[in-house]
Amino acid sequence: MNPLQVGGQVTGFSSAFVPTPIDVANIKELARSGVFPIQSQLSKLRTTISAAPAELGRYDVEIERLQAALSRLTSERSMLASYTDFCRSVLSPVQRLPNELLANIFDLCFPENLYVIFNEISADDEVDQLARRYLLQLGQVCTRWYRVAMETPKLWSNIAVDTDAWKDYPEEDARRADLLESSLARGRNYPLILHVGISDSDTCDVIVVESLLRHAHRWKDVFVASSGAPCVALFSAMINLDQLEMLDLSVSSWGQVPAFTNAPRLTSLAFSGYVDDLPLLPWTQITTITNSVSHDFPSPSYSPVSVLNLAPNLAVCTFYLDVREDFPHEPWDVQATSAVKELFFLLLTSEGDFSVVAHLFDTLTLPNLESLDICPFDGGSPPIWSSTHFLALVERSGFDSCLTWLAIHAVVSDEELLRCLRALPKLERLFVTECRSSPATITDNFLRGLFFVRNIASVVPKLQLLSLRCGLDFSDSVYADLLASRTQTFDGTSAFESNLWWFEPRKREFSIEAMERINQLVVDGGIIFNTGKYDPAVH
């Protein structure tokens, strides 16, 4: 009896009747031939047939035994593998993380698209926002993760609610209100970041506002958007906002509600609405404003920059102004004098309108201004620069001693721009973007005007950064000469930085010879140079 081998191992079980390969080949050949076996073959064949039932029974018994053993081995292996995985899990680095650090990791998992206000959010997505489904999913990993997710107030401190999504299924209002209350409760007393969308004064809006008002003492950063005026009444009472630091109001007409006047920490403000309907706020505290104003100007007595007069401690201000329609072409009666240090104008103007920038310059007096940026937004026509009005602003405000940063994306000639720059001896950073549909601003004449020559009065002698976005309408050798002249302006501790970005499609290639000169200046440590295709998303 030959021992049986299973998986390379001798089992000790076999049968004397198991045929050899030769026996198998012979019996198959005999079966195919159709000839009856001879006498010497009959005895062996009949013996095999007689013994086979008992032998097969023995095999069946052994197979059952082996299958039972295999099942046991398979089960034991699975148990060992699972146990090993748990051992690795228990000893994994994440188990050694403090709960505070684990909570910070959970916070990084916050979906950026969770804050959706007035953007066709579905009712299901609104529930996900209120329930913080991503935290519930993280909490399913283990008991510890569940406790961290549910019991860390910081993770529940960002609340987004949009009542516009409630109106499709009003019967679910109670459920959504419970989810909102649950999220607010889990945040305990941690400062709140709110994104609130309110469409009108329906029951659901009242429910949301009342829930949020009960936590007003926790409000830190608040964004309120409304598609209509009725929501204003919901905030008609003055509330205690001890922790409020940033407020963003996006409404069609806010009105004189006192809700946000009691906010001792409020310093940052963003709002949009009619210029004659500014909200009641603690304006003396405000240091940063982003103001988006539509094209509704009721009379020359109002100006989109009137807000500058309300905030005496304002340091940074950004205006998004749509002035394409109903724009008063006569000068504004309001004059704004401000201590603001950084001022940004993003203008949406009508093509060929000369009055917008001139009116802005005539309205302003900015004795402390350090940075000024004027450019179009939303792909609109670039505003038309007014050098005469700008120079009047320079003289009135004393820019010759304070302005160090200037960015221009406006229709302006090279000579006009040089005239303005000559009045800014303290300027250190200059950004110029050409307008493709108008004559080139960045020309050989403009570049030569910026040459620095030691011991000779030069335009912007303190310039440290020059960034140009253009169509390459100049001689590359002149540009290289400009950079070479500027390497002499430093004390050895820093290098002049120049950025050259071109519009696509390119009109031409940059000169190889000029690039070699510039590269050598970089190698010598005299300049820092960056160049390439102009990408508005990056530059």
- In degrees, to the nearest 5, what angle opens at C-alpha 250 toward C-alphas 249 and 256? 55
pLDDT tens for residues 105-155? 998 887 766 555 555 566 677 777 788 888 888 899 889 999 999 999 999
DSSP code for 493: S
Say how many Å lie between the first and final Cα of the chain, rounded.
86
Helix (H, G, I), strand (E, B) or coil at 338: coil
pLDDT for residue 35 is more than 90: no
Q: Which two tokens stand for residue 1?
A: 């009896």
pLDDT for residue 5 is more than 60: no
CB 376 within 8 A of CB 348: yes
Residue that is written with structure tokens 């299973």 in the block: 6
Task: Tell me the mean pLDDT in the region 67-79.
Answer: 93
For the entire predicted model, the pTM comes to 0.76
Q: Which residue has the higher pLDDT, 365 or 163?
A: 365
Using 50, 70 and 90 to split pLDDT, how confident is the model at 2?
Answer: very low
Task: Tell me the mean pLDDT in the region 342-358.
Answer: 84
pLDDT for residue 295 is more than 60: no
Give the per-residue pLDDT at 273: 63
Give the per-residue pLDDT at 512: 93
Give the per-residue pLDDT at 94: 80
Task: Tell me the mean pLDDT in the region 229-233.
Answer: 57
d(CA 231, CA 252): 10
d(CA 206, CA 230): 11
d(CA 227, CA 205): 12
What rounded mean pLDDT belongs to the chain? Answer: 84
Task: Tell me the mean pLDDT in the region 93-112.
Answer: 85
Position 179, amino acid = L
d(CA 266, CA 285): 7
C-alpha distances out from residue 177 to 37, 65, 153, 202, Å: 91, 63, 19, 14
CB 417 within 8 A of CB 384: no
pLDDT over 90, % of the chain: 41
pLDDT for residue 510 is more than 60: yes
Give the per-residue pLDDT at 480: 95
pLDDT for residue 331 is more than 80: no
CB 253 within 8 A of CB 230: no
Using 50, 70 and 90 to split pLDDT, how confident is the model at 518?
Answer: very high
Nearest to 254 by CA among 282, 240, 234, 239: 234
For the ranges 26-30, 98-102, 494-498, the maximum mean pLDDT occurs at: 98-102
Give the per-residue pLDDT at 1: 43
pLDDT tens for residues 244-293? 999 988 776 666 677 888 899 999 998 876 545 667 889 999 999 988 76
d(CA 404, CA 497): 15
Give the per-residue pLDDT at 38: 81
Task: Tell me the mean pLDDT in the region 212-222.
Answer: 91
pLDDT tens for residues 412-457? 999 999 999 999 999 999 999 998 878 899 999 999 999 988 767 7
Q: Which residue has the higher pLDDT, 242 or 349?
A: 242
Q: 10 forms bridges with which residues in the sheet? A: 5
DSSP code for 17: T
Task: Tell me the mean pLDDT in the region 376-391.
Answer: 88
Using 50, 70 and 90 to split pLDDT, how confident is the model at 7?
Answer: very low
Helix (H, G, I), strand (E, B) or coil at 331: coil
Q: Which two tokens stand for residue 322?
A: 């749509």
pLDDT for residue 302 is more than 70: no
Domain range annotation of the chain: 5-91, 287-434, 442-539
Task: Tell me the mean pLDDT in the region 491-519.
Answer: 86
